[in-house]
Amino acid sequence: MPEHTDDEIASVHRHAAELGVGLDPAAVRRVELDGGDVRVSGLSWGGDDPKVILLHGGGQNAHTWDRMLLTGTGPALALDLPGHGRSGWYPTPDYRPRRMAASLATAIGSLPAVPRVVVGMSLGGLAALALAAAHPDLARGLVLVDITPGNRPGRAGDLATLAETEVFADFEALLRHTRRYLPTASDASLERSLRYNAVRRDDGSYAWRADPRRWEDGRTQTERLFDEMASLWSEVALLQCPTTLVVAGDSPIVTVEDRQRMLRSNRRVRSVEIPRCGHNVQSDRPEALAAEVSCLLDT
């Protein structure tokens, strides 16, 4: 079992208490699934028959969905992507969407029943897209949160450099560093996020929990991702399930042109914009995103 699991789950219950949400003591638990070539870890919300699968963005982990799930989305399984959170690492740092989709398909396919909707944000959205295209039996509905294959380097601005510093002398140094990139986040939410996204090393320093390795040629995982990005338009055309593209109103990631191309590429795609939020819609407007997921669940 991963380290600090008891503290991890206790933190979820403290978060619920802060929001005034009643949460059954057994409602959330850590689970481990076989992803074939990698162990896939996740958080089960509400039992062993999840209606929703949730896939986070790059550098994040399953806890990014906590606030949204505390609004009452229903039985869900929030997974740590390979190389992230408490999931295993690949032998080589190849975390491109199609490879992760293959591992996730094995993990999701081991569940007792097929989930109703797969939700993916940013990198997790690209993995969800690849998953739904290659395994239509595993995704009856799809929600892509502020991402399309049209994304290009530079659109994320300063956030793209957040993880470039890899090691911090102590937690306070990590907190100060992150605060520069996320100045509007509350102290409580920022500290909670960092406790999940970073790991304390034996010497007392902190490092990001996600796999930081570069490719053998020295290129970063992000650089390799963008090499493959545009080719994922072919997956959009293959989608067989109702799909909602959620666009963050204050984010530069999805352009008008990207949005229009998504709609032209597949008649099953609809698009909705959620105003007053940045790229992390699940953090900025959790209730609005939960409503879109519920809408697709009801179709």
Q: List residues bridging with 119 in a β-sheet.
A: 54, 143
| Predicted pLDDT at 2 | 34
**10-14, 50-54, 241-245, 270-274: which range is least confident on average?**
10-14
Question: Does residue 195 carry a pLDDT above 90?
Answer: no
Q: Which of 15, 63, 279, 284 is catalytic?
A: 279
Question: Does residue 7 carry a pLDDT above 90?
Answer: no
| Predicted pLDDT at 187 | 81
Q: Which helix (H) or strand (E) holds 192?
A: helix 187-197
Q: Which of 146, 193, 265, 283 is catalytic?
A: 146
Burial 226-243 (b: 16+ CB within 10 A, else e): eeebeebbebbeebebbb
Residue 25 pLDDT class (50, 70, 90 cuts)? confident
Question: Does residue 186 carry a pLDDT above 80?
Answer: no
Q: Which helix (H) or strand (E) holds 297?
A: helix 286-297
Q: What is the mean pLDDT of residues 234-260?
A: 97
The alpha carbon of 230 is separated from its chain's Cα centroid by a whole number of angstroms, namely 20
Q: How many CA atoms lie within 13 A of 121 on its CB side?
A: 28
| Predicted pLDDT at 5 | 45
Question: Does residue 3 carry a pLDDT above 60?
Answer: no
- Residue 94 annotated as catalytic: no
Q: What is the mean pLDDT of residues 183-208?
A: 87
| Predicted pLDDT at 183 | 76
**73-77, 116-120, 125-129, 286-290: which range is least confident on average?**
73-77
Q: How far apart are CA 38 and CA 142, in angstroms?
A: 24
- Residue 146 annotated as catalytic: yes
Select the more confidently predicted residue: 43 or 219.
43
Query: Comparing C-alpha atoms, which of 251, 261, 298 is closest to residue 121?
Result: 251
Residue 1 pLDDT class (50, 70, 90 cuts)? very low
Q: List residues bridging with 53 in a β-sheet.
A: 77, 118
Q: How far apart are CA 185 and CA 198, in angstroms?
A: 17
Q: Which of 87, 103, 122, 265 is catalytic?
A: 122
Q: How far apart are CA 125 and CA 107, in angstroms?
A: 17
Query: Comparing C-alpha atoms, which of 93, 96, 84 is closest to residue 40?
Result: 84
Q: What is the mean pLDDT of residues 260-283?
A: 96
- Residue 135 annotated as catalytic: no
Q: What is the mean pLDDT of residues 218-243?
A: 94
Tell me the chain's radius of gyration from C-alpha atoms: 18
What's the mean per-residue pLDDT of the chain? 91
| Predicted pLDDT at 158 | 65
Strands, sheet with 206-208, edge to edge from the N-terminal-most edge strand: 167-168, 206-208, 198-200
| Predicted pLDDT at 73 | 75
